[in-house]
A and B are shown apart, each in its own frame.
Chain A
Amino acid sequence: MAAPLRLKATSASPGVATGPAYIAEPLAAAASPPSNLSGHAELGNAIKTAIRELQNLAAGPDLEGMDIIEFQIEVLQDPTLTEMAGARIDAGENVAFAWAGTLDGYIRELECSEEERLRARAVDILDIKNRVLSVLTGTSLDDFPAGSIYVGRDMEPSRFLAHDWSAGGGIALYAGSAVGHVALLARSRSVPMVVGVGQFTTEGRQHIEVDGDSGVVVLQTARENATPAQFGHPATSTAPIADNGSLHTADGEQVLLSINVNAPGEVDSIPAATTAGIGLMRSEFAVTSLSDAANEEKQFAIYRRLLDWADGRTVTVRMLDIGGDKPLAGLTGASSLRGVRLLLARPEIARVQARALLRAGIFSNLRVLLPMVTFPSEIDDLRQIYREEASELTRRGVPHGIPPIGMMVEVPAAALMLDRFESADFFSFGTNDLTQYLFASAREDAGFAPHQGRTVPAVLRLLSQAVKLAGGKPVSICGDMASDPSRTADLLAAGIRHFSVAAARLPAIRSAIVGLNADGTKAAGE
């Protein structure tokens, strides 16, 4: 057996703990309730609720914890913050964004402070920012299983306080501070903790060890799928095929098979090794309210969770495709716009998501997909947002990376002009919208549906032209057509070599591909 992997860290609280890893989870999504309160009243009520929640936490016997909660309550009651958020609301900003923007400004100020004591307070402000956003969204901070090792970039003090540590467990933070509030709490409760481990990947529930005495994290077992040797298990015919989504047509051409994902929990039951990763993550199904859209941490947690699952395989996150027939709870005033047009019209939404994706971009396997692109300039404009947010993160010293940025090909004009989209790093065909816009049909037009077979030839002709215009850049298909085994031959013939399909369709599409030649003809003997 290979020696356990030891990661150097900084000790923040002594002791040794072993347990299943808990990778910091996103908050449970919930629709925000309709509200006809004024923004000021809505924020005021949310702050009051947050204070009540904190007071309930403070009822515990923990003196250090009391101090921290008293501090957080005092910040929630700070007249300066209320004024700044109020001014943003008066200027027309949505409540959630007004609050998040105000607190983000203060968090940045603290992070840039020369004094570590002040820098260490940033996570308290992040904590109350998220607490109020949770109230605005109607969700609450999730607890994690007793006895587990909390793994995350940082930890909110209230999460520590709400957790039952009597069953043991520990904390390993990628970043964090040994003089921060959580470290202080951990020492007072004798919870082993290390900080500054740096980014590391581990699967949820895998046993890891936190050694707060010598400042190391031990990943005890080398994961099987971390090694490329997958030839050793030939007799597992009932198990899903762990081919990493890389298969071959009957005449030996490589085809990739990825999955489409809506909510992050969907991947839990799917072994990553049966896929080439996530070809399409529809972020609008995980970010379901304007408050979520303002919540950078929550989004970051969702993307991180998918990247952890994929374990090095590609994860393609499509930025919020909202507007039109996909409304976002709480969003008003721009409903006629959709996709990238809406993102550019409401850059405050795009910027939060860009920051979360940039932070997740420290994983080189992340890719970002822009929805409903019509013109090359839209990609340039969005790229500019990524560049600006990236330099801001650099200034703050937050680790990040600019992921490859590709586009959905679902507007017929874009498909026709694909060679002009020089700034797109890759292309993904969305055949549902492409068909709809190509045939002047409304999606809700039920009368048109029975005749959809008739649309196929024109869509295929457009696709095969577009594949040629893609100029060798990566091309994939993620629409419903990709999940339909009766279309696989046509799509192969059109030149498609990467299919992203609903997870349930993996076996059907896999067997369709291996029974066909690369030109879509049936293999001999079939």
Chain B
Amino acid sequence: MSGGLRIGSREAEQVHASCQTEVEVKHGVGLHARPSVTFTRLAKSFPCSIEVAVNGSDIWLNGKSIIKIMGARIRKGSVIRIRADGILAEEAIRALKDLVERNFDEEKKHGRTA
């Protein structure tokens, strides 16, 4: 389930920020329906804006939009840039990068790759 906003007292001092990272997708079939859902749900749990650009493209897609993320043809070997702007931007970037590196938790969820 998508949780509420993650504004904890711990992060209170780093409220507003801009942040960017780059990560390679290693997951076998890329971002099809299920991993896309996992990604956008996590993105939506942060209050900052989150955008994604694929393989050096300068078109930035709304990282909270399943139809944009799923339509971006992200697959194995794709390099995605993720940028966040606003409250908890840094944490959002870290969490999303971790998720991609963990193969979107696919194995954990289903005990197999999709």
A: which residues have CB within 8 A of B? 63, 67-68, 70-71, 74-75, 77-81, 106, 109, 113, 115, 117-118, 121
Measured between alpha carbons, how far is A117 from B33 in the docked complex, in Å?
9
For B34, the chain A residues whose CB sits under 8 A away are: 67, 70-71
For B110, the chain A residues whose CB sits under 8 A away are: 63
Least distance between A43 CB and chain B CB atoms (Å): 17
Stretch from B16-24, B63-71, B79-87, B97-105 that touches the partner? B63-71
For A113, the chain B residues whose CB sits under 8 A away are: 71
For B67, the chain A residues whose CB sits under 8 A away are: 75, 78, 80-81, 106
Residue B6 interfacial (CB < 8 Å):
no
B: which residues have CB within 8 A of A? 29, 32-34, 36-37, 40-41, 44, 62, 64-68, 70-71, 73, 110
Least distance between A461 CB and chain B CB atoms (Å): 61
New A-B contacts (7) at CB < 8 Å, excluding given A80-B68, A121-B33: A67-B37, A70-B37, A74-B36, A75-B67, A79-B65, A81-B65, A109-B71
User: Are B33 and A71 in touch, CB under 8 angstroms?
Assistant: yes
Measured between alpha carbons, how far is A323 from B55 in the docked complex, in Å?
54
Measured between alpha carbons, how far is A67 from B37 in the docked complex, in Å?
9
Measured between alpha carbons, how far is A63 from B34 in the docked complex, in Å?
12
Least distance between A118 CB and chain B CB atoms (Å): 7
9 contacts between A and B (CB under 8 A): A71-B36, A71-B37, A77-B44, A79-B64, A80-B62, A80-B68, A81-B67, A113-B71, A118-B70
Partner of B66, one of A68, A78, A109: A78
Measured between alpha carbons, how far is A71 from B70 in the docked complex, in Å?
11
Measured between alpha carbons, how far is A314 from B55 in the docked complex, in Å?
56
For A71, the chain B residues whose CB sits under 8 A away are: 33-34, 36-37, 66
Closest B residue to A181 by CB, please name it.
B33
Measured between alpha carbons, how far is A115 from B33 in the docked complex, in Å?
13
Given the known inter-chain contacts A63-B110, A71-B37, please indicate yes or no for A115 contacting B65, CB distance below 8 A: no
Closest A residue to B110 by CB, please name it.
A63
**From DSSP, what is the main secondary structure of chain B's interface residues?**
helix
Given the known inter-chain contacts A63-B110, A67-B34, A71-B34, please indicate yes or no for A118 contacting B65, CB distance below 8 A: no
For A67, the chain B residues whose CB sits under 8 A away are: 33-34, 37
Closest A residue to B32 by CB, please name it.
A117
Measured between alpha carbons, how far is A79 from B66 in the docked complex, in Å?
9
Least distance between B61 CB and chain A CB atoms (Å): 9
Measured between alpha carbons, how far is A74 from B70 in the docked complex, in Å?
11
User: Are B66 and A74 in touch, CB under 8 angstroms?
Assistant: yes
Least distance between B41 CB and chain A CB atoms (Å): 7
For B44, the chain A residues whose CB sits under 8 A away are: 77
Closest A residue to B41 by CB, please name it.
A74
User: Are A75 and B66 in touch, CB under 8 angstroms?
Assistant: yes
For A68, the chain B residues whose CB sits under 8 A away are: 33
Interface centre among A63, A68, A79, A113 (most CB of B within 10 A): A79
Measured between alpha carbons, how far is A68 from B110 in the docked complex, in Å?
14
For A80, the chain B residues whose CB sits under 8 A away are: 62, 65, 67-68
For A109, the chain B residues whose CB sits under 8 A away are: 71
For A79, the chain B residues whose CB sits under 8 A away are: 62, 64-65
Least distance between B45 CB and chain A CB atoms (Å): 12
For A118, the chain B residues whose CB sits under 8 A away are: 70-71
Shortest beta-carbon contacts, A-B, top 9: A80-B65, A74-B66, A71-B33, A74-B37, A78-B65, A78-B66, A67-B34, A71-B37, A78-B67
For B70, the chain A residues whose CB sits under 8 A away are: 118, 121
Closest B residue to A81 by CB, please name it.
B67
Closest A residue to B40 by CB, please name it.
A74
Least distance between A258 CB and chain B CB atoms (Å): 46
Given the known inter-chain contacts A78-B66, A80-B68, A81-B67, please indicate yes or no for A115 contacting B41, CB distance below 8 A: no
Measured between alpha carbons, how far is A365 from B83 in the docked complex, in Å?
57
Closest B residue to A114 by CB, please name it.
B73
Interface centre among A68, A70, A74, A106 (most CB of B within 10 A): A74
Interface centre among B36, B37, B62 (most CB of A within 10 A): B37
Closest A residue to B114 by CB, please name it.
A67
Measured between alpha carbons, how far is A113 from B40 in the docked complex, in Å?
21
For B37, the chain A residues whose CB sits under 8 A away are: 67, 70-71, 74
For B62, the chain A residues whose CB sits under 8 A away are: 79-80
Closest B residue to A124 by CB, please name it.
B33
Least distance between A354 CB and chain B CB atoms (Å): 27
For A63, the chain B residues whose CB sits under 8 A away are: 110
For B68, the chain A residues whose CB sits under 8 A away are: 80
Closest B residue to A75 by CB, please name it.
B66
Measured between alpha carbons, how far is A78 from B66 in the docked complex, in Å?
6
Measured between alpha carbons, how far is A213 from B21 in the docked complex, in Å?
49
Closest B residue to A84 by CB, please name it.
B67
Measured between alpha carbons, how far is A71 from B41 in the docked complex, in Å?
10
Measured between alpha carbons, how far is A85 from B36 in the docked complex, in Å?
22
Closest B residue to A110 by CB, please name it.
B71
Measured between alpha carbons, how far is A113 from B62 in the docked complex, in Å?
20
Least distance between B38 CB and chain A CB atoms (Å): 9
Closest A residue to B33 by CB, please name it.
A71
For B65, the chain A residues whose CB sits under 8 A away are: 78-81
Measured between alpha carbons, how far is A70 from B64 in the docked complex, in Å?
15
